[in-house]
Each structure stands twice: as C-alpha cells, then as structure tokens.
Amino acid sequence: MRTILYLIRKEFLQIFRDRFIGKAIFGVPIVQMLLLVPAVTFEIKNVKLCIIDRDMTTESRELVSRLEGSTFFKVRFSTFSEPEGNDLLHRGKCDMILQIPSGFGKEQGLAQPGKIFVSINAINAVNAQLSLAYLTGVIRDYNLKVLTDNTDPGFLQLPPQIEVTNRYWYNELLNYKFYMLPGVLGILILAIGFVLAGLNLVKEKESGTIEQINVTPVKKYQFITAKMVPFLIIGLVDLSIGLIIGRLAFGIPFEGSIALLFLCSAIFMTALLGLALLISTFSGTQQQYMFSAFLFIIVFVLMSGVFTPADSMPVWAQKINLINPAAYIMRINRMVMLKGSTFHDLGRDIISLTMVAIVFTTLAVNRYRKTA
C-alpha cells in the first residue's frame, strides 16, 4: 500500500508540473459547462416562414397573424410568386413556405374545408417534423375559432369528449437544459479522464522515464493503480465543479443522492481509465494514442444517448452499448438528478458498469509489459 501511495504522489507531481494540464483540468469543465449546456439543444424557436397569400382576405390574414403571434415562427418573407418562394427555400433563406390559395376565405363562408399547401426544408428531419407539428397546432386552434365563430351557440351540441390533463414529471418546465446538463457532465469527465490518463502513460514511454519504473520491483497492478487514482480524483473534482456551475448558472434540480451519483461516476471513471491505459499500452507515441482515443470518444458519445435516445437505435447498436460506459452514466446521471432514482432502481446499470470497469482494468494490467 505504501508503494502505491508513493507512486500516486509521484503522479500528482508529474501532472501538475505541466502548467497547461493543470489549467486545463479546472478550466475545461468551466468552459464546457457554460458553452455546451445552453448551446446544445433540439428546441426550435425561430422557424423562418415565407407566406404566399393569394387570397388576401380577412380569414387568410387572421391565419397569418396567428403564425406571427406564435413563439415558434418568424414571418421573414411574403410574396405572390411560388418560384420565388421555392428559391428562398432552396437558398436556405426560409425553412417553410405556406401557400394560401385564392378562395380560402370564400370556402370557409360556404362551410367547405379550406386548403393550404406547406413546403418544408427537410434536410434536418427532426426540425422538419417539429416545425410541421407546431404549424399543425396553430392551424388546429384556428380551426376551432372558425368553428366557434360560424356556429350558432344554441345549436352547437358537441358530443361528449374525453378531457385530457397533462402533467410532465421530472422536468415540469420542459427545460431542455435540465435534460442536457447530466449528459454534458458525462462527456466532461469522459474527455478529461480518457485523454489525459492515456497521454500521461504514452508521454512517459516517449521520454523513456517509464523504464526507471520498469526496472524497480513495482508490481504491474500497483503501477496501473497509481496511474488511475489521480485522474479518478481529478474527474470527480471536475464533476463537482460541473454540478456547482449547473446549480448556480442554470438552476438545475438535483432530486437524488449525491453520494450515489459520485459512486457511479467513480465506477464510470474506473472503466474509462482502464480502457485508456489499455489503449496506451498499444500506442508508441502520443499521436497514435490521440487518433485511437478520438475514435473511441466519438463512438462512445454519439451512441451514449446524450443526443438521441439509445432505445431508438438498431438492435446491433444497442448490443454494442453493453460495453459502452458512457451509455450507462448518461442514464444514471439523468435518473439520479431528475428522477431521484435510488440504488435499487439503478442496480442493473451499476452492476453492468462495474463489470465493464473490471474487464477493462484487468485487460490493462495484463497487457502492460514490464521488463523487470
């Protein structure tokens, strides 16, 4: 145990001797949290709309005014030419074209269904679907007003209807920052731990200082443990900084146990550091390691569920996620912070993450070659 403690002390001295790394350890989480949390969002608030109103009646202008009053749409262009509207859509000047044909108001006066035509830029399928959903909601409210205005209240007999009352649990304000921050916290400690831990070992191999350790009686497990512990502590410190920033800057709620969150994060860091050190044993230079680490980080983040639900991925991708530590920590962070989940609720994910950590760490210890 004394040997491990001396090695850990040596690692801390080596880490903070590099001024850039010392600043990055505490500077990166601050910048990342303040930039990514408000920036990474799938909410749509400003759909650029082009109106082609060939009817120019009170009814058509009322529909346009309802769109202008919506928080989701911004009427940027108005024209009578369909080719001009299509050109604006093609050049990215607008996201949606709404065409109101002549006779729109007359059809309403004759109690006939009115027709409109909508063209949507669907390069981004998610944005296109959300934009159409918002437009459908505005038109539904407009239809209800038309029905009310043109029907005699004495003869208006609506059939019995089911009244639906909505309640949003765990994120009642539907604030996207509350959803993104737990995921960004996972990315934060993933990037810090995965990159710095592996580079630290490869840097020693390049400089030749690792040979001084190899010729000593230090065991392989002692060496790997000493390499992992400092970055495990640094990762948890960065997690604390991220939580403080999330609370002070964004008012993120925390419903669960902070001890459980740190326990799961420590297991997650152990898995990451084990994999990082395993990859570093195959890398001869820092450049080789960075290329390998970049590949794993991209795959882990994109398949973790931080941006898209993991359950919607193909079956083969969900099976790959069984060895993806980031997929577990994303679920755990969100469930602990937003739902207040307990160890009993997260038992399966915690056990699976622990097994992944044990496997990666064991492989790293076995793969490390010691010359003495």
Task: Kindly state whether residue 160 falls inside one of the protein's structural domains.
Answer: no
Measured CA to CA in angstroms, residue 261 lies from 69, 123, 184, 257, 317 at distances of 43, 38, 14, 6, 26
- Please tell me whether residues 138 and 197 are part of one structural domain: no
Residue segments in the chain with a per-residue pLDDT below the cut of 70: 109-111, 150-161, 211, 213-215, 370-372
Task: Kindly state whether residue 271 falls inside one of the protein's structural domains.
Answer: yes
> Residue 194's closest CA among 304, 269, 265, 264?
269
- Please tell me whether residues 23 and 55 are part of one structural domain: no
- The reported pLDDT for the residue numbered 365 is 86
Task: Kindly state whether residue 164 falls inside one of the protein's structural domains.
Answer: no
- Please tell me whether residues 94 and 65 are part of one structural domain: yes
Task: Kindly state whether residue 194 falls inside one of the protein's structural domains.
Answer: yes
Residues counted in the chain:
372
- Please tell me whether residues 63 and 183 are part of one structural domain: no
Assign residue 73 the CATH number of its domain. Answer: 3.40.1710.10
| Burial profile 285-302: b = 16 or more Cβ within 10 angstroms, e = fewer | ebeebeebbeebbeebbe
- Please tell me whether residues 268 and 350 are part of one structural domain: yes
Cα separation, 319 vs 321, whole angstroms: 5
Question: What is the reported pTM?
Answer: 0.81
- Please tell me whether residues 142 and 187 are part of one structural domain: no
- Please tell me whether residues 307 and 213 are part of one structural domain: yes
Task: Kindly state whether residue 205 falls inside one of the protein's structural domains.
Answer: yes
Helices (H), 215-324: 220-250, 258-282, 286-302, 315-320
pLDDT in tens, 73-97: 999 999 998 999 999 999 989 999 9
How many helices and strands, by DSSP H and E, does the chain display? 14, 4
Number of domains making up the chain: 2
- Please tell me whether residues 18 and 133 are part of one structural domain: no
Task: Kindly state whether residue 251 falls inside one of the protein's structural domains.
Answer: yes
Contact 368, 226 (CB under 8 A): no
User: Which one of 149, 168, 190 terminates a domain?
Assistant: 149
Q: Which domain holds residue 233?
A: 2-40+176-367
Cα separation, 246 vs 33, whole angstroms: 7
- Please tell me whether residues 54 and 36 are part of one structural domain: no
Task: Kindly state whether residue 247 falls inside one of the protein's structural domains.
Answer: yes
- The reported pLDDT for the residue numbered 4 is 83
| Other beta carbons less than 10 A from residue 341's beta carbon | 20
User: Which one of 112, 134, 149 terminates a domain?
Assistant: 149
- Please tell me whether residues 56 and 20 are part of one structural domain: no
- Please tell me whether residues 72 and 218 are part of one structural domain: no
- Please tell me whether residues 220 and 361 are part of one structural domain: yes
Task: Kindly state whether residue 158 falls inside one of the protein's structural domains.
Answer: no
Measured CA to CA in angstroms, residue 112 lies from 57, 99, 241 at distances of 16, 18, 61
